[in-house]
């Protein structure tokens, strides 16, 4: 006698190692959306070990032959652009998600896709050169569009 019961396989039936490999290959935006699926997924995706594995996989697959151009003047251009170093082709555009008082930005550095930017006031002149007065500092992850403003009072140059 044949058993007519249908068996369905769910994502939870996959071996944990297989799901881990699948998730480490997903784009960041997809992972962020997936954190709202269930508490277990949120917990797994926010663990430092998973984040590190995801970054390592992304770095191993990334194209090191590209350049991110950050606009210095936000009035004329509100996008950072990822450009192929070989062809000059625009690979991706990222809208700068914050406004600055002076409409100017300077890239200070980056680490694992997070950019450190500062706002500069070029209006001050001392003698024959322009004095850069650092205003706000921003940490920005263009891949997910999130940013944090750091308190400026700690970073302003004293004159």
Whether 44 and 95 map to the same domain: the answer is no
Evaluate whether residue 2 is within a structural domain.
no
Whether 75 and 57 map to the same domain: the answer is no
Confidence of residue 49 (pLDDT cuts 50, 70, 90): confident
Flag whether pLDDT at 133 surpasses 60: no
Whether 95 and 21 map to the same domain: the answer is no
pTM of the model: 0.61
pLDDT given for residue 122 in this prediction: 62
Report the domain count for the chain. Answer: 2
Whether 147 and 119 map to the same domain: the answer is yes
pLDDT given for residue 83 in this prediction: 84
Task: Identify the weakest region by mean pLDDT among 4-8, 98-102, 153-157.
Answer: 153-157
Whether 71 and 54 map to the same domain: the answer is no
Whether 51 and 97 map to the same domain: the answer is no
- Domain residue limits at 115: 66-154
- Confirm if 97 and 105 have CB atoms less than 8 A apart: no
Task: Identify the weakest region by mean pLDDT among 29-33, 59-63, 67-71.
Answer: 59-63
Whether 77 and 138 map to the same domain: the answer is yes
Flag whether pLDDT at 125 surpasses 50: no
Whether 70 and 42 map to the same domain: the answer is no
């Amino acid at each position: 006698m044949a058993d007519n019961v249908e068996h369905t396989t769910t994502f939870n039936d996959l071996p944990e190692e297989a799901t881990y490999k699948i998730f480490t290959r997903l784009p960041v935006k997809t992972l962020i959306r997936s954190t709202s699926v269930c508490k277990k997924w949120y917990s797994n995706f926010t663990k430092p070990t998973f984040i590190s594995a995801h970054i390592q996989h992304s770095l191993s697959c990334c194209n090191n032959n590209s350049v991110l151009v950050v606009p210095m003047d936000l009035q004329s251009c509100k996008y950072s652009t990822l450009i192929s170093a070989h062809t000059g082709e625009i690979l991706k555009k990222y809208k700068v998600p914050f406004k600055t008082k002076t409409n100017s930005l300077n890239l200070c550095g980056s680490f694992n896709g997070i950019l450190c930017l500062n706002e500069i006031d070029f209006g001050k002149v001392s003698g024959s050169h322009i004095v850069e007065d650092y205003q706000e500092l921003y940490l920005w992850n263009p891949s997910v569009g999130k940013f944090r403003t750091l308190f400026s009072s700690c970073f302003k140059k004293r004159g």
